[in-house]
Structure 1
Amino acid sequence: MMASKTKAIMQIHLDQKDVSIIGEDLLEYAETLSDALGMDTLSIQQEMRSGDLNHLIITFNHYFSDYIELLDSDHRMSS
């Protein structure tokens, strides 16, 4: 059964003080979500890894912004 699309089921606050783990965390969330939604996990993760951290965040938002809203402290991270 596929999950129904609902805007921002969850919000994730990313700690900008430790940017080294942001990418790892988002890749893990992407794996969990894409598996649950029946998406091609490997392709999505490859696309996320194909650029810098900003590209990774934009790609994550492209696929998962209907389910997760990324927040940087008190601000929404743009897609």
Structure 2
Amino acid sequence: MMASKTKAIMQVHLDQQNNGGIGEDLLEYAETMSEALGMDTISIHKEMQNGDLNHLIATFNRYFGEYIELLDSDHSVGL
């Protein structure tokens, strides 16, 4: 029998009242995930910080959207 590889999925609820905190939180999640997945953490951090909050979220989703679903109080946050 072939072993199946499963992925853990996590949902993160973002506090829309604290935009600065969102960026910091996502950078921390990105660091943890990129290290766990063997990705280039420094390069990903630089790319995430090379724009506004929308850019940061979009970049995070591009790298980690398969593993982490970002949610605000009502729905998914996807850019």
Task: Report sequence identity in percent.
Answer: 68
Question: Where in structure 1 do 4 or more consecutive aligned residues deviate above 4 Å?
Answer: none
Unaligned runs of 5+ in 2: none
In structure 1, distance between residues paired with 2:77 and 2:22:
13
Aligned length: 75
Which structure has more strand as a fraction of its residues?
1
Write the deviation string for residues 12-66 of structure 1: whole angstroms up to 9, x where unpaired: 0000011111000000000000000000000000000000000000000000000
Which structure has more helix as a fraction of its residues?
1
Aligned-residue Cα RMSD (Å) equals: 1.4
Higher relative contact order (CA 8 A, sep 6+): 1
Q: Give the equivalent residue in structure 1 for 2:36.
A: 36
- TM-score (normalised: structure 2): 0.89
